[in-house]
Amino acid sequence: MSSPPDRFGPYDEHTQPQVPIEHYANTVLRNPRRAPFVRPVTRSELTGPLDLASKLHPGDINLAVLDGKPAQGQLIHVGGRILDEDGRGVANTLVEMWQANAAGRYFNPLDQRDAPLDPNFIGNGRCMTDEHGRYGFFTIKPGAYPVPNSNRWWRPPHIHFSLLGPASLSRLVTQMYFPGDPLNAHDLLLLSIADREAQHRMVSQQVPTQQIEGEWLGFTHDMVVRGRHATPPLH
Amino acid sequence: MTLPNAPLVPTGWQTIGPFFPRTFFQEADNDLTRLALDAAPTTRGETVILFGQVLQEGGGACVNAVLEAWQADAGGRFRHPADPEASLADPAFMGWGRAWTDAEGRYAFRTILPGGYRDATGTRAPHINLGLLASGVMRRLVTTVFFPDFAAANGADPVLGVLPAALRPKLVAVPEGQRDNCRAFRFDLLLRGEADEETPFFLD
């Protein structure tokens, strides 16, 4: 395996979400008043678990079919690469994803919205990136849904991602959006990131249909986790 | 124009939201002593239970929070290339675990009392790093748990030392008897409160 990154700078705050967020009370109740303390980076932050497969069991990459029966909705493939800040593919990253069904409802007892559940759609998956940092899932396009008690804020269709990379400091939890959705421009979570380019990078790109042989739509989405190398890559 | 070797910008964080899949959690995910559900626990070190309650502003329970723990083995080593002594690390110790909070905000981990180590920053006291994710937490909240057994080492720890002295005891777990025939340590987290109550967090 290639060496993991060894340099981790602080995030650029303009490219990361700022709280509180209007109509999202938990962004007040659950975020500290006090600014976080700046600590030195020690070995326990530079390291992380490299063998999560035995514990978290990746391999569930087709969400669109359950027991041989297809889920409702538009069949899509979502894939791309996990990169570090030097643009190197990050192998052996555990990728977790979860999403609502085509009607915008989650298979989760906490989602009690009056929208239909799909008996053939659970909506979560896991995989491990290959040696080039690539990941991919077949699924259906999630629906939008309104946020309760929010003055009619609707979440645009989105997919949640959780990445467990080669160091504690390369942990990332994010959401992926779909290109061209009019709700994107009004989404309070996307807008909590000030930098417009950073917002734009959280929107996936549609693969031209001519490049796909099967009957699904394709979306590519690369995600960048923190970490640089003392030795820069050759170009 | 992108310059050669100009860094890519890390992707923006977002909250896990209210619907992190319950089916992602399996028995023993919160057990750091085993590599897998069907693996034998490590035999090196003292098994301990770390437990506590996660509270939000006003003292209410923070339900459905996800806590992730990462720590060195009993000898203070990591099975990772960034540890020069990785080859000596305990091959049967996972060192990572994940727990989620119940309706009262309670969590628990089963682990090994970690060892300390020396690196370029100084001498780290035995500690467990915790990351917390929850609906409304837009970026992971990170803090570190220390143990009362190592008062002298805690006093010299380069991370604990960045806190004002009055706040340092907040990151030291409290012994609270035995659970499952192991010593148990309590570590509660208050995500938002008055300055003298809130748990200290570190910039991730």
Is residue A132 domain-resident?
yes
- Find the closest chain B residue to A231 by CA distance: B5
Q: Is residue A34 part of a domain?
A: no
Mind telling me how many Å the CA of A56 is from chain B's nearest CA?
8
Full domain range(s) for residue A97: 56-224
Q: Which of A32, A173, A225 sits opposite B201 (nearest CB)?
A: A32
State the Cα–Cα distance between residues A78 and A141, nearest whole angstrom: 10
Domain CATH number, residue A192: 2.60.130.10
What number of residues does chain B have? 204
Q: Is the pLDDT of residue B131 over 80?
A: yes
Structure confidence at residue B156 (pLDDT): 98
Checking if the pLDDT of A182 tops 70, the result is: yes
Q: What CA–CA distances, in Å, run from A105 to A24, A63, A116, B25? A: 19, 15, 7, 20
Answer yes or no: are the C-beta atoms of A26 and B135 closer than 8 Å.
Answer: yes
Please, are residues A5 and A229 in contact by the beta-carbon 8 Å criterion? yes
Is residue A160 situated within a structural domain? yes
Q: What is the pLDDT of residue B4?
A: 64
The answer as to whether A2 is a domain residue is no
Contact yes or no for B11 and A174 at CB 8 A = yes
Give pLDDT tens digits for B26-43.
999 999 999 999 999 999
pLDDT over 70 percentage in chain B: 98
Q: What are the residues facing A72 on neighbouring strands?
A: none
pLDDT at A1 over 50: no
Q: Which of B82, B117, B159 sits opposite A40 (nearest CB)?
A: B159
pLDDT at position B6, please? 80
Instruction: Render pLDDT for B9-20 as a digit per residue (tens, 0 to 9).
Output: 999 999 999 999
Q: What is the CA radius of gyration of chain A?
A: 19
Alpha helices, DSSP H, located in chain A: 26-29, 43-46, 53-56, 188-191, 196-200
Q: Which of the residues A77, A126, A155, A226 is marked catalytic?
A: A155
pLDDT at position A231, please?
Answer: 81
Residue A69: beta bridge partners? A66
Q: What is the mean pLDDT of residues B129-155?
A: 98
Query: Tens digit of pLDDT for each residue in B46-79?
Result: 999 999 999 999 999 999 999 999 999 999 999 9
- pLDDT for position A2: 64
Cβ-contact A115, A105 below 8 angstroms: yes
Name the residue with higher pLDDT: B176 or A149.
B176
**Three-point CA angle A53, A55, A59, nearest 5°:** 45
Is A162's Cβ below 8 Å from some Cβ in B? Answer: yes
In angstroms, the separation between the Cα of residue B8 and the nearest Cα of chain A is 5
Look at A86 and B5 and tell me if their CB atoms are within 8 Å: yes
Instruction: Give the closest of B18, B195, B200 to A37, CB-based.
Output: B200
Q: For position A3, what pLDDT does the model report?
A: 79
Percent of chain A with pLDDT over 90: 94
Bigger pLDDT: A123 vs A234: A123
- Give the number of A-B residue pairs with CB atoms closer than 8 Å: 244
Q: Can you read off the two tokens belonging to residue A188?
A: 């309070």
B103-115 pLDDT, tens digit per residue, is 999 999 999 999 9
The two beta strands, B47-55 and B189-190, are parallel
Distance, CA of A116 to chain centre:
24
* Predicted model pTM: 0.97
Which of B2, B3, B8, B11 should be substituted to probe chain A, the one whose Cβ sees the most A Cβ atoms within 10 Å? B11
Four-way CATH pick for B22-190: 3.30.56.10, 2.60.130.10, 3.20.20.220, 3.40.710.10: 2.60.130.10
Give the pLDDT confidence score for residue A43 in this predicted structure. 97
**What tokens appear for B69 in the block?**
């723990």
Asked whether residue A10 is assigned to any structural domain, the reply reads no
Give how many domains chain A has, as a whole number.
1
Contact A47 B70 (CB under 8 A): yes
- pLDDT tens profile A48-88: 999 999 999 999 999 999 999 999 999 999 999 999 999 99
A29 reaches B (C-beta below 8 A)? yes
Residue-wise pLDDT tens digits, B180-201: 999 999 999 999 999 889 999 9
Closest CA to B137 of A189, A68, A148, A11: A189
Residue A24 lies in a domain: no
A186 in a structural domain: yes
| Chain centre distance of CA B19 | 22
Phi and psi torsions of B199, nearest 5°: -70, 135
Contact A26 B94 (CB under 8 A): no
pLDDT for B198? 97
Position A95 in a domain: yes
For residue B43, what are its two tokens? 């035999």
Give B-chain residues touching A173 at CB under 8 angstroms: 13-16, 133, 140
Rounded to the nearest angstrom, the gap between the alpha carbon of residue A162 and the centroid of all alpha carbons in its chain is 6
Nearest residue in B to A44, CA atom: B71
Q: What is the mean pLDDT of residues A164-192?
A: 97
A177 → chain B, closest CA residue: B14
Mean pLDDT of chain B: 96
Distance CA B23, CA A123 (A): 10
